[in-house]
Structure 1
């Protein structure tokens, strides 16, 4: 792990807010030259602290008005490997994230759908037919706000 100074933390905070900012713009913002800002960003990437810059899509604007978090408990862990389940669930386009978790459920999925009837179709025809699926618990997202992490 590398030591982070105040400038590194400011760069990470700024990039987490808008990953498209250039090294030149970040340098001007924090009193660095463009090459110095670029070297710092490269150092953070090489240390695997900064793992790329992502485009965030607005699911609702794309017609996906419902987000559901599913807790999935595998029924027969011995007969179906975790890799088989993960490979099968990753092939479902409506599943945005697959998280292997410790607790009541084995997996937590973030699923988007056009509406509740579309979600029901995805659940019945795609998710419930996956290898090893046992208990499933659904939580419909009502609202969401982005909270800054420990750097914010």
Structure 2
């Protein structure tokens, strides 16, 4: 684990809010020179603290207005490998996240669909036909509030 000082944390918070900021703009906002800010960002990347920068797409603006989290319990763990299930689940375009979890369910899937009818199609034709699927529980997202990360 890398030791972070207050400036490193400030840089991470600022990049988490807007990863498109230049080192110069970020440095000015934090009272650092552009080269000093750039060196800190590069060190954080080299140490693996910054693992990448992502583009956030508004799914609803693209017509995907329904998000559903599915809990999936495998029925035949001995007859189907976890890798087979994971490979098949990640091949479904509407499934954005596949998490192997501990608890009541074996997996948690994040599914994006255009509407409830589209979600039902994905559930019936794709998710329920995955290898080893037993019990499935759906939780439709009604609203979402973004909270700052652990550094916020």
TM-score, length basis structure 2: 0.97
**2: CA distance, partners of 1:101 / 1:16:** 26
- The reply to whether residue 108 of structure 1 matches residue 108 of structure 2 is yes
In the aligned structure 1, how far is the partner of 2:105 from the partner of 2:79?
17
Deviation at 1:95, TM superposition (A): 0.7
In the alignment, which residue of structure 1 is the partner of 2:117?
Answer: 117
Matches within 5 A, 1:13-28: 13-28=13-28
- Superposed, 1:79-94 pairs within 5 Å as 79-94=79-94
Q: Name the SS of the counterpart of 2:150 in structure 1.
A: coil
Q: With structure 1 as the length reference, what TM-score do the two structures score?
A: 0.97
- Could you tell me which runs of 5 or more consecutive residues in structure 1 were left unpaired when the two chains were aligned: none
What is the correspondence of 1:125-136 to structure 2 with a 5 Å cutoff?
125-136=125-136
Q: C-alpha root-mean-square deviation of aligned residues, in Å?
A: 0.8
4+ runs of 1 displaced by more than 2 Å?
A: none
User: Structure 2 stretches of 5 or more lacking a match?
Assistant: none
Pairs within 5 Å for 1:1-152: 1-152=1-152
Deviation of the 1:143 alpha carbon: 0.3
Q: How many residues were matched structurally?
A: 152
